[in-house]
Structure 1
Amino acid sequence: METVRRKRKRSGEDWFVDIVAYGFAGLLSLSILLPFMQVVTISMSPASVVNQTGFHMIPTKFDFSGYEQIATDPNFWHSYLNTIIRTVLGTASGVLVTMLTAYPLAKTNLPYRRGLMMFVVFTMYFSGGMIPKYLLVKSLGLTNNFLVYILPCLITGFALIITRNFFMSIPPALEESAKIDGATNLDVLFKVYLPLSTPVVATISLWYCVQHWNSWMDNMLYVTEKSKYVLQYVLQTILTNGQTADMEAMTDIVIHTETMKMAALVLSLIPIVCTYPFLQKYFVKGMIVGSVKG
């Protein structure tokens, strides 16, 4: 006998929870969208309009001179290239080292496994501080070295834990059958685990990508050569001081209007905005699966 499932009648409590949830999500979305709209509007407005009306959401006049001026600034594009190189190298090396570290830590028969994981968690809460880190970087000869953008932040504890937990959710029978066929540990990692780990790899790749793209503090602390400046540090200088040193002349100062500042911000957002949609579908799955198994 075929049974018919009746749709449960929604109670007043259900409606209240939905209204609160959607209302909170809407307010959160507006808090993100409105500043972004403001930045885009100012970047497309004439400097005279911006000076008269200040910040506004809808452009009254269109003027792309800010983009034209920033497009002719060699400092901006040189730092843009440095950031792209840093992000690509940092993300690729970070994902590789994270997977190579997470794979042995996912094995329950690894000696001192619990102690190693406690050490990883410890680094998430405590650090040596800014001065000891600077002395370490200097003693390693990484100051004014492009590797200072890669090596000190090569791996993060949270990404390691998420990846390790994901690997623990993979059935051990797959590894055992691969080793019976003569596979080595690296073969198992890259030919068995890696194809099954697309969600978690996409998740940690997005983390590392955003981390490297947004970093500027290491530039300020460890790099004084203007040819190695990254985009975010140049943007920080532009937004804070309204000017940036010319890398060619080393003494000339390029003054930036509010329109140019916002145009530089919009251009700096393009790579991340274009990358995120391709990784979004894996993001939630990677987070959930990577965090449920301890």
Structure 2
Amino acid sequence: MVATGKKMETNTTTSGSIRKLSRLRSKHPAELLFQILNYGFLTFFALLTLLPFWHVFVVSVTSYESYLNNKFILLPVDLSFSSYVTILGDSKIHQSFLLTVFIVVTSTLLHLLLTAIMSFPLSRNELKGRNVIMVFMVVTMLFSGGLIPHYLLIKQLGLINNVLVFIIPGAFAGFSVILMLNFFKQIPPSLDEAARIDGAGHLYVLFKIFIPLSMPIISTLALFYGVGKWNDWFTAVIFIDKASLYPIQNILREFLILGNMDTIGSGVFSKDANKLIVSIKMAIIVVATLPIVIVYPFLQKHFVKGVLLGSIKQ
């Protein structure tokens, strides 16, 4: 039986290859030329997009003298990880990195919770006045109170120089509600009705039925919101004066834009510190970007489906 199964699988693969080859041969030469040029252009564009990221990584592991001799480097020269040793051995980088992870995880979970709680009743037809609620929600997406009123509100709430300023403001977003609301509408009402007949309450239906069935949109919103929080540097510029509360992006900003060597803890650099500054800049960029690059493949399978179904309105 096993041999038969393997033989059938081999035959299927062979027949599939033959069909692809026959389709390729049957195509018009102009169509075949278009496909070759299309694939070639897409490959070139992909490599062109990856080139800056690759250059940043290569410079981060290249010695300073080699970088001066070769301003644009495609391959590492005199491989050196001293920049990463410098960064990973600094307590300020550790603190800002852990703080950023805490902010991203906490704010994303709160955002998803509030979005689900808001989207669930709006997706039910029995909720009266839901159109009025939707209008108020959309208005908040189109109009803002401005930066000064926002600052005064944050100050009155006592969130200046407080880590909660990264979490509470912006925890609710109308755009996320619209996506999750439309996704909830795709869930058959019969599941809700069957659970109600069995005596289930609203919270049970939401957390035991709707949320487990909505992992594509939840993963998509988590990726959208999490990346936004990870890249957020403006909040700390406006509301944070203490360097101990700076996220990793603000450490990166001070080092790259302001050229502030004090951003990295004292005692780490030797008299040759300036020789490391270029590679350290690139190494910090790699460290700040790497977590998102690692997380994205795990959410990619839900990403397209979540955006597609969340954007369809029935």
Q: What CA distance in whole angstroms lies between the structure 1 residues aligned with 2:32 and 2:150?
A: 53
Q: Which residue of 2 aligns with 1:182?
A: 199
Identical aligned residues as a percent: 39
Cα distance, 1:121 vs structure 2: 2.5
Q: Helix, strand or coil for the counterpart of 2:125?
A: coil
Cα distance, 1:32 vs structure 2: 2.7
Checking the alignment, whether the CA contact within 8 Å between 1:226 and 1:247 is kept in structure 2 is: no
Alignment counterpart, residue 71 of structure 2, candidates 29, 48, 54: 54
Cα distance, 1:284 vs structure 2: 0.6
Alignment counterpart, residue 270 of structure 1, candidates 274, 286, 290: 290
Query: Which runs of structure 2 are paired with 1:55-204 in the superposition (5 Å)?
Result: 55-204=72-221
| Deviating more after overlay: 221-230 vs 17-26 | 17-26
Larger radius of gyration: 2
Q: Which residue of 1 aligns with 2:55?
A: 38
Q: Which residue of 1 aligns with 2:3?
A: none
**Which runs of 5 or more structure 2 residues have no equivalent in the other structure?**
1-18
| Aligned partner letter, 1:258 | V
Q: Helix, strand or coil for the counterpart of 1:152?
A: coil
Checking the alignment, whether the CA contact within 8 Å between 2:255 and 2:263 is kept in structure 1 is: no
Q: What CA distance in whole angstroms lies between the structure 2 residues aligned with 1:23 and 1:167?
A: 41
Cα distance, 1:15 vs structure 2: 5.2
Q: What CA distance in whole angstroms lies between the structure 1 residues aligned with 2:141 and 2:66?
A: 47
- TM-score after normalising by structure 1: 0.89
- Provide Cα deviations, 1:194-245, integer angstroms capped at 9, x if missing partner: 1111111111111121111111100110011111110001101111122254
| Aligned partner letter, 1:185 | H
Q: What CA distance in whole angstroms lies between the structure 1 residues aligned with 2:213 and 2:34?
A: 37
Change (3 A) 1:13 1:137: farther
Change (3 A) 1:17 1:204: farther
- Provide Cα deviations, 1:171-213, integer angstroms capped at 9, x if missing partner: 1110011001000000000011011111111111111211111
Q: What CA distance in whole angstroms lies between the structure 1 residues aligned with 2:121 and 2:28?
A: 50
Checking the alignment, whether the CA contact within 8 Å between 1:165 and 1:291 is kept in structure 2 is: yes
Cα distance, 1:10 vs structure 2: 4.5
Superposition RMSD in Å = 2.6
Checking the alignment, whether the CA contact within 8 Å between 1:234 and 1:244 is kept in structure 2 is: no
- TM-score after normalising by structure 2: 0.83
* 1:258 matches 2:278: yes
Q: Helix, strand or coil for the counterpart of 2:226?
A: helix
Checking the alignment, whether the CA contact within 8 Å between 1:143 and 1:222 is kept in structure 2 is: yes
Q: What CA distance in whole angstroms lies between the structure 2 residues aligned with 1:171 and 1:127?
A: 36
Q: Which residue of 1 aligns with 2:300?
A: 280
Q: What CA distance in whole angstroms lies between the structure 1 residues aligned with 2:47 and 2:140?
A: 35
Q: What CA distance in whole angstroms lies between the structure 1 residues aligned with 2:33 and 2:23?
A: 19
